[in-house]
Amino acid sequence: MKYEMILVRYAEMAIKGKNRKHFEKQLEQNIRRQLKDYADVKIKRTFGRMYIELNEEPLKEVCELLKDIFGISSFSPVVKTELNEAAIAEAALMVTRDSLNEKEGSFKVAVRRINKKFPTGSQEMNQRISKAVLIQMENLSVDLHQPDVELKVEIREEAAYISGGVIRGAGGLPVGTGGRALLLLSGGIDSPVAGYLAMKRGVTLEAIHFHSPPYTNERALQKVEDLTNILTRYGGKIKLHIVPFTESQLAIHQQIPDNCEITVMRRFMLRIAAEMAEQNNQKALITGESLGQVASQTLDSMYTINSVTAMPVLRPLITMDKMEVIEIAEKINTYQTSILPYEDCCTIFLPADPKTKPNEKKVSYYESFMDVDEYVNKAVEGIRTIELTGKREQDIEMENLL
Amino acid sequence: MIYLDNSATTKPWKSVLETYTQVSEKYFANPSSLHPLGAEAERLLMQARKQTAELLKVAPEEVIFTSGATEGNNIAIQGAVNANKGRGRHIITTAIEHPSVLRTMNHLEERGFEVTYLFPDKEGRVKASQVAEKVRKDTILVSVMHVNNETGSIQPIKEIGKVLTNHSKVLFHVDNVQGIGKVPLNIKNAGIDLLTISGHKFHGVKGSGVLFAKRNINLVPLYFGGTQERALRAGTESTAGAAALAKALRMTLDREPENRNMKNRLEKLASELSKYNEIIINSPVLRAPHILNFSVIGRKPESIVSALAEKNIYVSTTSACSSKDSEESIVLKAMGLPEERTTSSLRISLSLDTTDKEISDFLKSWKEIYYEVLKVGG
């Protein structure tokens, strides 16, 4: 006797009226993609929920992957049994044990008898199953109102289905239902988290990174590729656009007063990213900024930086404390990579006293001595794009060695 | 050849050696070098670390690559006591540890530390209650091996870890050289702070090992240099050694279900050998699946080892690391066994690759040489 399928629930989506079909389709597609290594898995949609038939594929591994798919509110492994009381009782016991994980707790049994040929009525079955489980488990009690485990038994024509444990899903909306946006990915702790949260609301992501060789090295770029690869776990393949930024940065360093350098650099980044997003038909930029975290993230700074584009800039972390961001970074597995100490383009020419209240007019005046458009266009033209799908070729080679 | 001395060392697996040579050739750069070649070597080292961590169910930064168990044990023990000697100078260990632990303890005693040696019962096992009795306010370290290298006896690591949860400042070190892949041990559940393994005991290459050192644990390094391996083990990393270890560990743990067969083979050996009147099994009933220690009363074990070697069969008198020094087994003596047993012991140790045929061939040869040796000796 074992778990043969997984029942998938998606609460928030179910209320989205006419769009529901679209959402469900996308979710099904996302689940398929996430489970592509498990060839025998089959997915079935019924009204308001989905069933994943395991067909001998490993339950635990599949569950782990489901936890990272946005749009799933919760899921439950289901046992299929023959249509007789002993088999159902045995499955009920197993499911209750697994759900409580050897701890004490309470449960309730809810039998639905769809197959009216089954000899025992659902009320009677409720009692019999409860009794059978209670006898076997010392630390178990019945609680009809707030049970730790709600054991669901469905008696159908072909078989009985028993489920109990409810595993929390990632919530949110399926990636692919929330439009397209471009993430400014630096390699630090914040931007991958911002990308993750954007995906949580269904956004399809591409990422843009500013690379300034020889001031930033291969390892820094590698780190960004790694972070992008980690993010693919939550949203499928992601395109990474690598901007050659050295020329712009050197020009800024030469032309702009030290304490405004960061502000101008950010304005350049935003211009380049916005241009790229425009070309890719993306409707927003996403950044990992959090209010007041550093000089360039004060309201004054953001105002001055943001004024170079009309493209919406989404900042999912804007009100979060650093610790809250780190907590998510650890959860989504980007933290360990983010803290690797390689210089990125934001830190190489860092002045001693960056302005926390840069004045937009002054900054524009400084920039008027530069051919901004030319630098921006050249950078955009020089963009190299790679598509990341979770693993690099070299990594697969290394894995084979291990 | 029938090789039955796998507790001394194992034969490296071919595919592990392939990894070793391929990595040595292709990823030869210094992982600390800035250039892309260095970056690739660093990345491979990182992947080896990650895989090892996953297999041990610990965090990657808790994996310190070493040159083997002797180094691992020394970094752990000396590092821990030197970092904590301000708080106390008392250490608890057992009388049946490997020389790389025991001699380190002797050295520390000369340096003014006080060491309590716990003695095992007749089954070769210390009890968690012994630790509870001996632990004091100034105890800074408890070091207990998981599986004894001579007898295969299994120490109650989890229980000792539990005792030590009430003494949160005492560090707990476990020498798991003989236990890894053979007897399951959950590092995190057992409250272990430091744990040592060695690659060549599970078909890796010599010169590679891992010290698990819990996050945030403060250790004083044995020697100083670069900041490799959390600055606990300075020196250019052996990328090939680390990769080979990660691979050997994966393959070993993949084959864990086969330990049952190994155990059956060992049981067969035990029951066949006990049919001889002069043979007494020293390994306890609760033992690891790969080690069988027994005494042949009145016989010189060395002559048996040589006689078997002539038939291309290789076994050991006592642990290889101490067998050159003394005729008496310190471990068996600590178990309180009489001299006739402590001076006549042999150790047979199996690997995952030992076959049923090798066992029956061994028993056949044993029968032949046994009476020869008896005759000569008697």
pTM: 0.75
B210, B250 contact by CB (below 8 A): no
Tally C-beta pairs within 8 A across A and B. 34
Tell me what pLDDT residue B272 has. 96
Note the pLDDT tens digit of each residue in B25-40.
Answer: 999 999 998 888 998 9
| B165 burial type by CB count under 10 A (0-12 exposed, 13-18 middle, 19+ buried) | exposed
* Spans of chain A, pLDDT less than 50: none
User: Does the beta-carbon distance from A402 to B246 stay under 8 Å?
Assistant: yes
Structure tokens at B193: 């702070």
- Residue A275: CB atoms within 10 A of its CB come to 18
Integer Rg of chain B from CA:
21
Cβ of residue B257 closer than 8 Å to a chain A Cβ:
no
User: Does the beta-carbon distance from B22 to A401 stay under 8 Å?
Assistant: yes
Question: Alpha helix locations (H) across A42-150?
Answer: 59-66, 85-100, 122-136
Q: Which ipTM was obtained for this model?
A: 0.80
Q: What is the distance, to the nearest Å, from the Cα of residue A381 to the centroid of all Cα atoms in its chain?
A: 30
Cβ of residue B242 closer than 8 Å to a chain A Cβ:
no
Would residue B293 show up in a list of annotated catalytic residues for this protein?
no
For tokens 């930024």, the residue is A245
A14, A56 contact by CB (below 8 A): no
Q: Which DSSP string do the residues of B35-102 spell out, in sequence order? A: SHHHHHHHHHHHHHHHHHHHHHTS-GGGEEEES-HHHHHHHHHHHHHHHHTTT--EEEEETT--HHHH
A369 is in an annotated binding site: no
Nearest residue of B to residue A337 by CA position? Answer: B46
Nearest to B7 by CA among B342, B311, B354: B354
Contacts of B248 in chain A (CB under 8 A): none
Burial per residue of A36-65, b for 16 or more beta-carbon CB atoms within 10 angstroms, e otherwise: eebeebebeeeeeebbbbbeebebeebbee
Q: Which of A217, A394, A402 sits opposite B40 (nearest CB)?
A: A394
Q: Which of B34, B39, B60 sits opposite A222 (nearest CB)?
A: B39
Nearest residue of A to residue B61 by CA position? Answer: A336
A358 preceded by cis ω (within 30°)? no
Beta strands A49-53 and A74-81 are unpaired
d(CA B123, CA B151): 9
In terms of phi and psi (left: phi > 0; alpha: psi -120 to 50; beta: otherwise), the region of B219 is beta
CA distance B16 to chain A (A): 8
Nearest to A113 by CA among A163, A152, A55: A152
Tell me what pLDDT residue A232 has. 94
User: Does the beta-carbon distance from B19 to A402 stay under 8 Å?
Assistant: yes
Tell me what pLDDT residue A292 has. 84
Nearest to A95 by CA among A54, A138, A53, A129: A129
Give first-to-last CA distance, chain A, whole Å: 35
Torsion angle of the four alpha carbons B55, B57, B63, B69, in this order, in degrees rounded to the nearest 10: -70
d(CA A260, CA A189): 24
d(CA A265, CA A268): 5
Note the pLDDT tens digit of each residue in B89-102.
Answer: 999 999 999 999 99
User: Does the beta-carbon distance from B34 to A219 stay under 8 Å?
Assistant: yes
CA distance B118 to chain A (A): 35
Q: Which DSSP string do the residues of A369-383 spell out, in sequence order? A: TS-HHHHHHHHHHT-
Nearest residue of B to residue A222 by CA position? Answer: B39
Confidence of residue B371 (pLDDT cuts 50, 70, 90): confident
d(CA B38, CA B36): 5
Which is higher by pLDDT, A57 or B148?
A: B148
Residue A308: HSE in the Cβ half-sphere, 13 Å Cα cutoff: 25
A111, A129 contact by CB (below 8 A): yes
**Over pLDDT 90: what percentage of chain B?**
86
Torsion angle of the four alpha carbons B2, B19, B57, A96, in this order, in degrees rounded to the nearest 10: -80
Segment holding B295, helix H or strand E: strand B291-296
d(CA A165, CA A159): 20
Residue A112 dihedral angles phi and psi, to the nearest 5°: -115, 120
Contacts of A226 in chain B (CB under 8 A): none
Tell me what pLDDT residue A297 has. 87
d(CA B169, CA B189): 17
Structural domains in chain B, sorted by start: 2-9+257-375 (3.90.1150.10), 14-254 (3.40.640.10)
CA distance A331 to chain B (A): 14
Question: Which listed residue (B83, B217, B321, B363) is catalytic?
Answer: B321
Confidence of residue B378 (pLDDT cuts 50, 70, 90): very low
Contacts of A336 in chain B (CB under 8 A): 60-61
Cβ of residue B53 closer than 8 Å to a chain A Cβ:
no
Mean pLDDT of B259-273: 96
Structural domains in chain A, sorted by start: 3-168 (3.30.2130.30), 180-400 (3.40.50.620)
Nearest residue of A to residue B52 by CA position? Answer: A402
Which is higher by pLDDT, A356 or B189?
A: B189
Looking at the DSSP assignment, which residues form a beta bridge with residue A239? A206, A387
Nearest to A145 by CA among A112, A106, A111, A113: A106
d(CA A69, CA A85): 36
CA distance B210 to chain A (A): 16
Cβ of residue B189 closer than 8 Å to a chain A Cβ:
no
A184 is in an annotated binding site: yes
User: Does the beta-carbon distance from A394 to B43 stay under 8 Å?
Assistant: yes
User: Does the beta-carbon distance from B43 to A222 stay under 8 Å?
Assistant: yes
Segment holding B241, helix H or strand E: helix B239-254
Nearest to B223 by CA among B213, B237, B234: B234
**Least confident interval from A94-103, B12-21, B109-118:** A94-103
Note the pLDDT tens digit of each residue in A319-337.
Answer: 999 999 999 999 999 998 8
B213 pLDDT above the threshold of 90:
yes
